[in-house]
Amino acid sequence: MRITALAGGVGGARFLRGLLAHLAASPDPARRQAAVTIVVNTADDVTMHGLRICPDLDSVMYTLGGGIDETRGWGRSQETSGVAAELAAYGAEPSWFTLGDKDIATHLVRTRMLAEGATLSEVTAHLCERWRPGARLLPMTDDVVETHVDLAGDDGAVRRVHFQEWWVRLHAAVPALAIEPVGADAARPAPGVLEAVRDADVVVLPPSNPVVSIGTILRVPGLREALVGTAAPVVGVSPVIGGAPVRGMADACLAALGVPTTAAAVAGLYADFLDGWLVAAEDEPPVRAGLTVRGRPLLMSSPQATADLAGAALDLALDLTGEDRAA
């Protein structure tokens, strides 16, 4: 069984760890031997202090590889901040973006390899030789795509900032007028990405941010078409529970698109390719011909709950396989 997932950072990584745990513990040999490919958002990527940083790739890699800080949900475990303290002593900006010492080693390896001409796909494969995440991690593209956010300035003029500045420094408290993945229109899918979607037996959308994680992946030319055209069932898990994002500020991103923060509205963003959708019992299920909706608990409250959630997504997908689905 070939399973392909599209993912952002923390929410996607947690779900995917549950998926791998579910597969490993399954009595079904097809699930135990399943090959998982994860297409990861790279539009959060940013250069700081000369280092190329890929937050979502690193969150997925550290989480699946056992190196994540479990409490924060991002960054390395047992991290220290000696370099950050030295940078602060120099007054080196930006000071609002946390870079741990261990994490910096990852960025140093990546930045050096990119400078020597490697692609981000090659860098990711190299980093994964250490972390052995148990799945194939593919950046959505090897080209540079960076989400920028338009904010209303005090003087009425529009100010454009990098997504990280809006998210991390401003905590998305300033309303976004627009969210734009700059470079996406000219980006090419990374090697293997379109094939992973087209040739999959199951495609899964974890509960990742529908605008700045899944939404940016869908903006890479060819991705959306591959999802529409794949013979595999495409199933997703709502990132919205009880009309609110569980963690993070996805509501601020949806508001920028004029989309309400509901499980149904998020499913609507995927309407052209989504076959199955898991929603929480308290949320209004979307009603659309061709979309199968199941209600169940969606909180990733423990490793077991997360593995069960992933198993339920897979069950839904496999129940849809063989049913009368238009390719």
- Residue ranges that bind Ca ion, judged by CB under 5 A: 8-9, 44, 56
Q: Which range binds ligand GDP by CB under 6 A, 31-39, 156-164, 203-211, 217-225?
A: 203-211
Nearest to 16 by CA among 33, 37, 45, 41: 37
Which partner in Ca ion, ligand GDP, none is near 298 (CB below 5 to 8 A by kind)?
Answer: ligand GDP
Nearest residue (CB) to Ca ion, 51 versus 291 = 51
Number of residues that bind ligand GDP (CB under 6 A): 24
Q: Can residue 184 be called a binding residue for ligand GDP (CB under 6 A)?
A: no
250 binds ligand GDP (CB under 6 A): yes
Rounded to a whole number of angstroms, the minimum distance from the CB of residue 207 to ligand GDP is: 3
C-alpha closest to that of 39 among 235, 246, 213: 213
d(CA 180, CA 1): 35
9 is a contact residue toward ligand GDP (CB under 6 A): yes
Give, as one character, the DSSP assignment of residue 175: P
CB of 324 to ligand GDP, least distance (A): 29
Q: Which two tokens stand for residue 128?
A: 């994964």
Place of tokens 């989504």: 274
126, amino acid identity: H
How would you classify the pairing of strands 51-53 and 46-48? Answer: antiparallel
Instruction: Compute the distance between CA of residue 150 and CA of residue 160 in angstroms, rounded to an integer.
Output: 4
Residue nearest to ligand GDP (CB): 11
Pick the binder of ligand GDP from 1, 4, 6, 8 (CB under 6 A): 8
Contacts (CB under 6 A) with ligand GDP, residues 62-91: none
Identity (one letter) of the amino acid at 258?
G
What type of residue is 29? P
Q: Which of 16, 19, 194, 300 binds ligand GDP (CB under 6 A)?
A: 300
User: Near ligand GDP by CB under 6 A, which window of 16-24, 45-53, 118-126, 204-212?
Assistant: 204-212
Does 265 interact with ligand GDP (rule: CB under 6 A)? no
Q: Does 298 bind ligand GDP (CB under 6 A)?
A: yes
Q: Identify which of 208, 297, 290, 279 has the alpha carbon closest to the alpha carbon of residue 243.
A: 279
Candidates 224, 207, 226; CA nearest to 216 is 224
**Contact predicate 24/224, CB 8 Å:** no
Q: State yes or no: residue 11 binds ligand GDP (CB under 6 A).
A: yes
The residue from 246, 255, 259, 291 that contacts ligand GDP (CB under 6 A) is 246
Asked if 294 and 254 touch (Cβ cutoff 8 Å), the reply is no
Name the minimum Å distance from CB 301 to ligand GDP: 7
Shortest distance, CB of residue 295 to ligand GDP, whole angstroms?
12
Torsion on CA atoms 324, 315, 34, 66, rounded to nearest 10: 140
CA angle (60 as vertex; 57, 65 as ends), nearest 5? 120
Residue of the chain from 1, 3, 6, 12 that contacts ligand GDP (CB under 6 A): 12
Is residue 322 helix, strand or coil? coil
Closer of 10 and 149 to ligand GDP (Cβ):
10
Q: Which of 213, 230, 262, 292 binds ligand GDP (CB under 6 A)?
A: 213
Task: By CB under 6 A, name the binding residues for ligand GDP.
Answer: 7-12, 56, 59, 207-209, 213, 237-239, 241, 245-248, 250, 298-300
